[in-house]
Chain A
Amino acid sequence: MTDDHSDQTTLHIGYGAGFAGDRPQAALALARDLATRRGPRYLALELLAERTLAQCQQRRHDDETSGYALRLFDFLEPILPTCLASGIPVITNGGAAHPVAAAHRLRGWLDDQGFHNARIACVLGDDLVEQLGALPTPDWLPENVVLDEVVSCNVYIGAEQIQQALEEGADIVLCGRVADPSMAVGAIRHGLGWSAEDPELTAIALATGHLLECCTQITGGYFADPITNPVPDPAHPGCPIIELGTEGQLIVTKTASTGGMVSARTVKEQLLYEIHDPAAYLTPDGVMDVSRAQVIDHGNNRVEVRDIHGYPPPATLKGNLGLTGLWFGEAGISYAGPRALARAQLAREIVMTRAAELTPNLAPRLDIVGVCSVLGDAGGEVISQRLDTGDGVEDVRLRLGVVDRDRGAIQALLDDFESLYTNGPAGGGGIRTHLVESLRTEDFMIDRHAVSTFLAWY
């Protein structure tokens, strides 16, 4: 520990997940690190992408006791004993399409573990799906949307109820579709007493959440390049932590005794991640301006970010519809050895010819993956030799992809692709095909006053 965060006024917040497929082990290390720190501390779990929410809503439709993020409890159960013992509130959007169902299951687990006093707050009001059937049709609904195809309808809500839940003593805050950085904004307003009416401080809180929301993407994850950007122990990047001073001093660091790295480069990449106009990043809590931001590397995995600015929140909130109706089919076949590419190209022509005959309504794309995918050995000897000699092109894979509303036609095309085994060019192998529903999303804008959010306690 250094003097930089030993005072009790500095706030410490870490994100233990950046998406639903993240690593629970890293979150546990984060909880243990936070437990050693003093001052206000928070742990957030970001588990909810747009299409994940639509999938969760589909599961809720089939089973009213489900609908939260599939792996929510894989993340919560290991960390909660540490967090509850140390007074670290946990905030997550892993409530997804059904925070109340998650709360019921969590209440049972907490009671079984003896945590009878732990308090769960659900943030509700983001789910608008029940308003869709109302008459007249809500004015915020895009005109081209077919109601029968809607599986989810949520609005990105802000930090207000998260802050309220923490003020009222929540140990765990289960949210659905809150904006990813808003989990940090709610925690910071609670921990540092920052006013929601202050756009500059709000922007610093938003930057904190934005930098953390993809978890290890700021600590060397999704960053390593063996030539220009080597990362220490890249198999175990640690979760990020931001130390935030009362005046807005912002230091990015990471969980102690973990791999990965925090550097000016990792921080700059994440600062702009999924941002379009750097001067106007719109969120429910405010508008963030990073166009003049500075990033200062203090060494030892400590990077300062300054000169974040902000403006009052927009009058409208973004919403997101999850829609059915599309199907996604894929198929692949590999060719290796002499003239592999020529045979893959011939297979491509055969598939195109047959697709035009069998399923003329589809528009499949046919790629040729040009990497060593089938000639290698478990020890990596062959691929190493081929890379050294540049002789890696004798191992290619023809890959078909198709998206369409006509599931039957896609299945027919995939079935015919499989006939390459006995009907295609010589030496093809390793055919795989699969067909899945391709949930899509569509945005809409809604007046923020048309959305009411509230808390429920468990």
Chain B
Amino acid sequence: MSCAANALSSSVLLADYAHARAGDKGNHLNIAVFVFEPGHYDWLVAMLTPERVADHFHARRSSAVHCHALPMLGGLNIVLENVLEGGVNQSAGLDRHGKTLSYHLLGLYLPAPAATSHQQ
């Protein structure tokens, strides 16, 4: 997984702009992520492409990533398929549900949203 040390100085931490919750189903994970400010929704959608999310979780080798837009809720539902190394059934990891991975997503450093970049 990518490391915060790679962050660019002009970038922002997603955790400062959004909140998220993870849930598991078998070997699949969903992370629902919502911006704090409605004005950042378009930025979130532009930033959280399936490619970027897959890259951020690359060590888990997800077989597919889907990003479902939720414009009325100001968020995205991200589904990472086969990312839980067996999940609660077979993973040897500490967090077999992948519950902590919501904050791994929130650990993404991203280019600042235009509307607020001058405030950073």
Contact = CB atoms under 8 A, between A and B. Distances in A.
Interface stretch (B27-35, B47-55, B109-117): B27-35
B73 A271 contact: yes
Given A275-B77, A278-B77, A307-B72, A268 B34 contact: yes
Report the interface size class on chain B.
20 to 34
A50 to B, nearest CB: 8
Given A272-B21, A272-B77, A51 B36 contact: no
B23 A273 contact: yes
Interface in B3-40: 15-16, 19-21, 23-26, 28, 30, 32, 34, 36
Interface in A257-277: 265, 268-277
Interface of B: 15-16, 19-21, 23-26, 28, 30, 32, 34, 36, 66, 68, 70, 72-75, 77, 79, 86, 88-94
A349 interface: no
A140 B64 CA distance: 27
B15 A228 contact: yes
Interface string A423-444: 0000000000000001011010
A295 B86 CA distance: 34
Contacts of B86: 403
Interface string A145-157: 0000000000000
Nearest to B79: A276
Nearest to B103: A225
A274 B25 contact: yes
Please name the 7 residue pairs, one residue from A and one from B, whose CB atoms are nearest each other, closest first. Answer: A272-B32, A274-B23, A401-B92, A440-B89, A269-B21, A403-B92, A273-B23
Given A268-B75, A307-B72, 14 more contacts: A265-B34, A271-B73, A272-B32, A272-B75, A274-B23, A275-B30, A276-B30, A276-B77, A278-B68, A278-B77, A294-B72, A403-B90, A441-B89, A443-B26
21 contacts: A222-B21, A228-B15, A268-B32, A269-B21, A269-B32, A269-B34, A272-B21, A272-B73, A275-B32, A275-B77, A276-B25, A276-B30, A278-B70, A279-B68, A307-B72, A363-B92, A364-B92, A367-B93, A403-B90, A403-B92, A438-B90
A399 interface: yes
Interface in A402-440: 402-403, 438, 440
A367 B94 contact: yes
Contacts of A443: 26
A295 B92 contact: no
Contacts of A273: 21, 23, 32
Contacts of A295: 73
Contacts of A441: 89
A347 B90 CA distance: 25
A326 interface: yes
A164 B36 CA distance: 43
